[in-house]
Structure 1
Amino acid sequence: MATGKPQLLFVHGIGGLRDTATDHRRWLQALATGARDAGMADAISGLTQGWLADVTFANYSDLFNRRGAQGDTTWELGEDEVPFLTGLLDAMLEELAEQFPAASSPHEARVIADARFQLDAAVQGRQSQGVGDVGRRLVGVTTTVLRLPGVRQAAQWMNGWAVLAQLAQVGRYLDRRAKKAGLGAAVRARVLEGLDLARPLVVVSHSLGTVVAYEALHEYGGAVPVWITLGSPLALGAVVLDRLVPRPASCPANVASWLNFWDRDDVVVGQPHLANWIGPSKSGVKAVTERVDSRGLWTHTATKYLEHGDVARPVIETLRP
């Protein structure tokens, strides 16, 4: 049984180059806001001062951003990336169409139908088009998706090209070919670096970070009392699910509780199928999914999720002695 001061591990998702200290502070501040929302304000000082847990922000963003510039401008769409991106966008649009049916959400449905038309045209013309032409069509899809309420005017992703480039990070991480698999291994090594197997570990992961955490926790030998997933693409169809290792997908054996949170306006998540598509661990633990409704225009950020009391409460309860 793991004993001693708990460890709290933050695992970020897609995006540009990050500053470890800045994001460490922002995630803790958001979690403190969530603690207040949960009526647990007495735990804030212990959390932010490091008394409750040793907190680590696992920053692997430099492994994806070659020049180190925010929104890495050196990325170019490769021929081998097209199938993954078209599949991922297809899954996202399918889930969004379920969330916004024409009867109740006519504007959103029109936007999604427009994006679907553009994606179908890109797929159908792929054989006769160059990679550049396909890329421009896919940028058109992501640009159209940015018109959805809750996504437009987002400060984090300013244009469709940036969206496509950052979504491509998911495919790059999941690429298992011999010359490509080293990236995923390096990311997982960065996440697990410096952890103490003898002490309990609480993991909060977001976006691509939930995919990374899924595989890293299957490799990790220590006890994980609770694993929190936020805005997870793990259930975005076979395009992600069928690429996970190990397969068939199941909850890591060392996880005692898995809590998954999703927001209806989070474009990366889609419907909460995760609990149905990923099997339980040998001890019967599987994801328990709960919806949260974030305030503001852009919901696919870790800090938006962490500000919810429902998200912060299980983290604080687990860390408290």
Structure 2
Amino acid sequence: MRPRLVFVHGIGGPRDPARELGDWTRWLAEGMREAGHAGAARALVSGEGARCTFAHYGDLFGPAQAQGAEDPYGGPGAAPGEASAAVDAALAELLVAWVEGLAEEADEDEHWTPGHARVLDHARAQAAPRDQEQGSGQVVRRALNVATTLLSLRPWDGAARWITPKVMVGHLSQVARYLARGEPGADGSGLDRRIRARIAEAVGDGPAVVVAHSLGSVVALEALHELASPVPLFVTIGSPIGMRTAVWPRLVPRPPAVPEGVGGWLNFWDRDDILAVRPLLERDVRANARGVAPKSRRVDSDGAWVHSAGKYLAQPAVAGPVAQTLARLAGGYPR
């Protein structure tokens, strides 16, 4: 039986699943070739290898207008009233956790200077909750200020060519909306549950290798806890799971643990990835009953915006283990 390979995307708007599947497959095949697995790369691109699926859920966020101060959670499926307040609270905590996590990493990085520390202190002050702060507009404006400050700081200043503070806040707001567990749909299920249902459908009854990026790593982790499907390898890239005060304590189940069906978990992070905060997940995620725990590995990509899925997938360190696992499940590929 051909193994299944499931890609789970991260933050961002609606996508063309067919085009995204082609892109992710091409990027991963590039990394496989660099890792010395040309046969696996050929099988992947030709469609003769794994059955590849792109688990798309970006459309469930609607337009996700969390990019301006007027209507940060507007659009179809947006959450009014109490649900919007829950998103406000999640976004506010996410801001603080984001800056605190970056500051913690800076303390351990010899490349950071006193100038960097001053900018981070300023961002920390901007992220701090305000007395009598009311309404989504206030929270979003605070988030815009923080994003603007951080994107002025090396090594992330070059990323401004690829992502603006407004887009950055929009992305963070998607994380907040997912973790708020609100926005019920027509069937009464919350946004988070509807998103996880897409992942469950893609994984099926397994076995499946799951590669999840950014917010997708949070979604996939929770979805795999709800499935009995065997997942020989779970790969997370650019993950925010370790954000200690915003993401980590909101995960289900609590405390976070490796799903029982997962046979191996590799977590990859880039030092210059502004969203991969507290990336050493083995510190914060418990092993499953089989003793499987996350193993975090650093990669280094060129370019200004290293958070993209393509940057990670083309890394030999990421693609190599995927190729090896797929080959084992398929009984081998010609070299």
Q: Taking structure 2 as the reference length, what is the TM-score of the superposition?
A: 0.86
Determine the structure 2 residue equivalent to 1:164: 169
SS of the counterpart of 1:187? helix
SS of the counterpart of 1:203? strand
Q: 1:31 aligns with which of 28, 32, 38?
A: 28
Distance in 1 separating the partners of 2:24 and 2:156: 21
Q: How does 1:188-267 map onto structure 2 within 5 Å?
A: 188-197=196-205, 199-267=206-274
SS of the counterpart of 1:229? strand
Determine the structure 2 residue equivalent to 1:310: 317
Q: 2:91 aligns with which of 81, 85, 88?
A: 85
Distance in 1 separating the partners of 2:285 and 2:251: 10
Distance in 2 separating the partners of 1:225 and 1:18: 28
Distance in 2 separating the partners of 1:235 and 1:128: 27
User: Aligned pairs, how many?
Assistant: 313
Structure 1 stretches lacking a partner, 5+ long: none
Tell me if the contact between 2:144 and 2:169 (Cα under 8 Å) persists in the aligned partners: yes
Query: Is the alpha carbon distance of 1:289 and 1:195 closer, same or farther for their aligned partners in structure 2, counting shifts above 3 Å?
Result: closer
Shift of 1:149: 2.8
**Range that drifts further, 13-22 or 253-262:** 13-22
Q: How does 1:98-113 map onto structure 2 within 5 Å?
A: 98-101=104-107, 104-106=111-113, 107-113=115-121
Shift of 1:157: 5.3
Distance in 2 separating the partners of 1:165 and 1:65: 12
Tell me if the contact between 2:29 and 2:45 (Cα under 8 Å) persists in the aligned partners: yes
SS of the counterpart of 1:222? coil
Shift of 1:166: 1.2
Tell me if the contact between 2:151 and 2:160 (Cα under 8 Å) persists in the aligned partners: no
Determine the structure 1 residue equivalent to 2:72: 76
Tell me if the contact between 2:71 and 2:137 (Cα under 8 Å) persists in the aligned partners: no
Determine the structure 2 residue equivalent to 1:97: 103
Tell me if the contact between 1:150 and 1:298 (Cα under 8 Å) persists in the aligned partners: no
Determine the structure 1 residue equivalent to 2:57: 60
Tell me if the contact between 1:34 and 1:313 (Cα under 8 Å) persists in the aligned partners: yes
Tell me if the contact between 2:181 and 2:191 (Cα under 8 Å) persists in the aligned partners: no
Distance in 1 separating the partners of 2:230 and 2:68: 36
| Identical positions, percent | 43
**Deviations for 1:97-138, whole angstroms, at most 9, x for unmatched residues?**
122249742243233222112222xx134x155542342222
**Range that drifts further, 159-168 or 104-113:** 104-113
Q: 1:182 aligns with which of 176, 190, 213?
A: 190
One-letter code aligned to 1:43: A
Distance in 2 separating the partners of 1:231 and 1:210: 8
Runs of 4+ in 1 over 4 A off after TM superposition: 71-75, 177-181
One-letter code aligned to 1:163: M
Distance in 1 separating the partners of 2:60 and 2:42: 33
Shift of 1:150: 4.0
Tell me if the contact between 1:10 and 1:203 (Cα under 8 Å) persists in the aligned partners: yes
**Range that drifts further, 36-45 or 16-25:** 36-45
Structure 2 stretches lacking a partner, 5+ long: 74-83
Q: How does 1:5-44 map onto structure 2 within 5 Å?
A: 5-44=2-41
One-letter code aligned to 2:249: D
Query: Is the alpha carbon distance of 1:8 and 1:75 closer, same or farther for their aligned partners in structure 2, counting shifts above 3 Å?
Result: farther
One-letter code aligned to 2:126: Q
Shift of 1:228: 0.3
One-letter code aligned to 1:30: W
